[in-house]
Homo-oligomer: A and B are copies of this chain.
Amino acid sequence: MSTQIPRPTPPRIAVVCIGDELVEGRTIDTNSGAIGALAVASGWKVAEIVTIPDEPGLVESTVERLAERHDWIVTTGGLGPTEDDRTRAAIAAAVGRPLRADAGAEARLRARAAARGVEVTALSLRQSLVPRGARVYASEVGTADPFAADGDGFTVICFPGVPRELRALAPVVLRAELPAGDVRHRLEAVYLGERESLLSERIEALRLPTGVGVTYAPSSPTVTIGVVGPDLGDVERADAQLATALAAWRLPLGAKTAAEAVVTAFTARGWTLATAESCSGGLVAAGIVDIAGASAVLDRGWITYANSAKVDELGVAADAIAVHGAVSAVVAAQMAAGARRVAGVDAAVSVTGVAGPGGGTAVSPVGTVFLAVATERSCVVADARFVGLDRQQFRAASAALAHRLLLAAVGGDYDALRSYRGVRELHFVP
C-alpha cells in the first residue's frame, strides 16, 4: 500500500482537528498536544496543527492543501455516527478512493450492540465506513476505529476526537504507520524568581555546544527551560552550563514547582511543616497539598486574615501589630515562630502582605509582602515587593516565594534568595 516516493526524516506530521466546538472556544483541544508530545518522544515532528469547524467540504480541502506540503496528515474528530461527522467521506475524497464498509469494524459494531442487547442501527454502522484499502485498527475504548489511508504521495491517519480514545489509540497506530524518527535528546529544568527575558540574556551570553537549542516555556511564576540537540553529551554539557549560570533560580531536577521541591526535600529530611498565611489566603498550603505525599509533610496551617486571628491563633503580640502594622517583618517573624511552636513542627512559614487593590500605604504600598521561615536553628524574614502584578498574580508570587524560602530552610542556605526577583532584604532574627 505504501507509496514509493522518498519522504523526509524525521517524519513531519500535520495535524487537523475538526469541530465547531474547538473554533468557537467551547472545548479546549488537548488532542493535538497529545500527538505533539508523542511525536517529540518518538523523534517525529508536528510541523503544523490546523483546527477547522465542521463545514461541508472543509476537511477535504484542508487535507488536500496540507498534502502539498506534508507527507503524513493526522486528523482527529468527525468519525462519529451523526450528520455533522464528515471526516470519513472527506478523507475518501481526498485520497481518491470510494468509501467501503470494513468487515472487521462492522463485526465489532454488531458484537458491541449484541453485548448490550440492542439492534445495531444503520446510523451506527456508518462508523464501519473507510476509504477502500484503508488499514483499520480495532479500538477497544470506543466505537470509532482509527484508520490510515494512502493518497497520492501522502498518508492520512484518522482518529476519533474523544480525548480518552485518542490517547489510548494514538501511540499504537502512529508507531505502526510512521517510520522511526530522529532521536533528539532533551533536558529541562524549572526556574523560579527571575523573568524569562533576563534568564534568556544570561543564557545567550553562554557559549553552548553547537547544535544545542534552548526552548522556553513560561508558566507564571516559573519558566521551564530546555536544552535540545542530537548529541546527548552536548546536551548534558549545555544543561550543566545552565545549572551553573542560573543556579540561583533553578529548582531541583524533576520539580515542576517549588512546592513539589519542598515536599520532596521535607520528606527526605523527615521534616514536618506548618503554614501561617494572611494575604496569600491558603495558597501556600494548597500548593503543598497539591502534591501527592503532602500528608507526610504538612501538619496544619492557619489563614489568619483578621488581626485578632494572628493574636489568638499564633500568639502574635497585639502591640507588635499596633506599632509595626500587620504587614511588617516583626509580625511575619512572630507568625512563623508562633505557627512552629503551636503546631510543634520542624519548620513554619508565614506570609503577610498587601494584595490590593485597596489597603496600600506610603510605607507598605500594594505589592509589599513580608515572609518568614522559622526552624529550630533560626528565623529568617524576607522583605519583598512585587510590582505590576494584579491581586491573583501577587498572591501566587507570594506563595511561590514562601515555598522557595522553605526549600532554602532545608539546606540552611538562603544566599540564592538575594537574587530572587522582588526580594529586597533578608533579615536573620535571633
Interface residues of A (CB under 8 A from B): 20-30, 32-40, 45-53, 62, 80-84, 112, 115-116, 121, 123-124, 141, 143, 162, 164, 196-197, 200-201, 204, 214-220, 224, 275, 277, 279-286, 288-290, 292, 294-295, 298-306, 308-309, 312-313, 342-343, 355-359, 387-388, 390-393, 395
Pairs A–B under 8 Å by Cβ, sample size 24 = A21-B217, A22-B33, A22-B49, A25-B34, A25-B40, A26-B33, A26-B217, A26-B224, A27-B33, A32-B51, A45-B53, A80-B197, A83-B200, A115-B387, A121-B201, A141-B390, A162-B220, A277-B282, A282-B285, A289-B395, A290-B395, A299-B305, A299-B308, A302-B303
Residues of B within 8 A of A32 (CB): 23, 25, 51
Residues of B within 8 A of A24 (CB): 36-37, 39-40, 46, 215
Query: Per DSSP, are chain A's interface residues mostly helix, strand or loop, or mixed?
Result: mixed
Q: Are B49's CB and A50's CB within 8 A? A: yes
Q: How distant is A380 from chain B, measured CB to nearest CB, in Å? A: 22
Residues of B within 8 A of A28 (CB): 28-30, 33
Q: Are B309's CB and A343's CB within 8 A? A: yes
Q: Are A80's CB and B292's CB within 8 A? A: no
Q: How distant is A246 from chain B, measured CB to nearest CB, in Å? A: 14
Q: Which chain B residue has the least Cβ–Cβ distance from A422?
A: B116
Q: How distant is A352 from chain B, measured CB to nearest CB, in Å? A: 13
In the bound complex, CA of A28 to CA of B217 (Å): 10
Q: Are B300's CB and A21's CB within 8 A? A: no
Q: Are A300's CB and B299's CB within 8 A? A: no
CB within 8 A of A301: which of B116, B282, B295? B282
Residues of B within 8 A of A35 (CB): 25
In the bound complex, CA of A50 to CA of B32 (Å): 11
Q: Are B215's CB and A20's CB within 8 A? A: yes
Q: How distant is A416 from chain B, measured CB to nearest CB, in Å? A: 19
Q: Which chain B residue has the least Cβ–Cβ distance from A65?
A: B65
Q: Are A303's CB and B304's CB within 8 A? A: no
Residues of B within 8 A of A392 (CB): 290
Q: How distant is A296 from chain B, measured CB to nearest CB, in Å? A: 10
In the bound complex, CA of A16 to CA of B358 (Å): 38
In the bound complex, CA of A303 to CA of B349 (Å): 14
In the bound complex, CA of A83 to CA of B115 (Å): 58
Q: Which chain B residue has the least Cβ–Cβ distance from A290?
A: B392
Residues of B within 8 A of A196 (CB): 80, 82
Q: Are A46's CB and B33's CB within 8 A? A: no
In the bound complex, CA of A245 to CA of B28 (Å): 27
Q: Which chain B residue has the least Cβ–Cβ distance from A23?
A: B46
CB within 8 A of A25: which of B36, B164, B355? B36
Residues of B within 8 A of A22 (CB): 33, 36, 49
- Decide yes or no: A302 and B300 within 8 Å by CB, A24-B39, A36-B25, A53-B47 being known contacts: yes
Residues of B within 8 A of A286 (CB): 280-283, 286, 395
With A48-B50, A299-B309 given, can you name 5 additional A-B contacts, CB distance below 8 Å? A23-B49, A25-B32, A26-B218, A27-B219, A116-B388
Nearest first, the 7 A-B pairs at minimum CB distance are: A281-B289, A282-B282, A25-B37, A25-B36, A300-B309, A301-B303, A25-B33
Q: Are A301's CB and B290's CB within 8 A? A: no
Q: Are B282's CB and A303's CB within 8 A? A: yes
In the bound complex, CA of A183 to CA of B241 (Å): 57
Q: How distant is A46 from chain B, measured CB to nearest CB, in Å? A: 4
In the bound complex, CA of A288 to CA of B302 (Å): 15
Residues of B within 8 A of A215 (CB): 20-21, 24, 26, 84
Q: How distant is A199 from chain B, measured CB to nearest CB, in Å? A: 9
Residues of B within 8 A of A308 (CB): 299
Residues of B within 8 A of A200 (CB): 81-83, 123
Q: Are B294's CB and A304's CB within 8 A? A: no
